[in-house]
Structure formats: C-alpha cells, structure tokens
Amino acid sequence: MRLGRVYFSSSYVVDLDNKDMVQQAKDAVYEDVCSANKYDEMDVWIKSEADEGATESDIPDFLLEEE
C-alpha cells in the first residue's frame, strides 16, 4: 500500500509578524477556493502526492467506511 495525501494547493509567502499581510493572504486563499469552485477548476488546485511518513492510522474513518 502506498500512502499519500490529497490536498488543496494555494499558498502565499508572508511576513508572519505582519498581521495585515497574513489576513490579506488568507483572504486570497479563500478567493482562490471560491474561484476554483465557481469556474469548475477544482481539479487544477487539488493535488495528491506520496507521503512516506503517513501511516494507515492516519486515514480518516470516513474514507475507510467505503471499503
């Protein structure tokens, strides 16, 4: 079994000491999510990759219920 993660990829480099910049970046990530949904581009933003540090116990229960 190869384990990995599925995630939504949107990020911005910020100065963590600048609260306004951090909030602006959070707002931009939110806008990215909304735009991806509105324009049916979620597949562009949703990624998957191997995670060698993950274990079977990391798999959420709701994903295991379908097996």
pLDDT tens track for 46-66: 999 999 999 999 999 999 986
Please indicate, yes or no, if residue 65 is contained in any of the structural domains: no
Please indicate, yes or no, if residue 20 is contained in any of the structural domains: yes
Please indicate, yes or no, if residue 19 is contained in any of the structural domains: yes
Please indicate, yes or no, if residue 47 is contained in any of the structural domains: yes
The share of the chain scoring above pLDDT 70, in percent, equals 97
Q: What is the pLDDT of residue 65?
A: 86
State pTM to two decimals. 0.73
Domain span at residue 41 reads 4-54
pLDDT tier, 67 (very low <50, low <70, confident <90, very high otherwise): low
> Long-range pairs for 37-42 at CB < 8 Å and ≥24 separation?
none
Q: What is the pLDDT of residue 36?
A: 95
Quick one: tokens of 63?
A: 């994903």
| Domains: count for the chain | 1
Q: 12 φ, ψ to 5°?
A: -140, 140
Please indicate, yes or no, if residue 33 is contained in any of the structural domains: yes
**Residue 7 forms beta bridges with which residues?**
47
**Residue 49 forms beta bridges with which residues?**
5
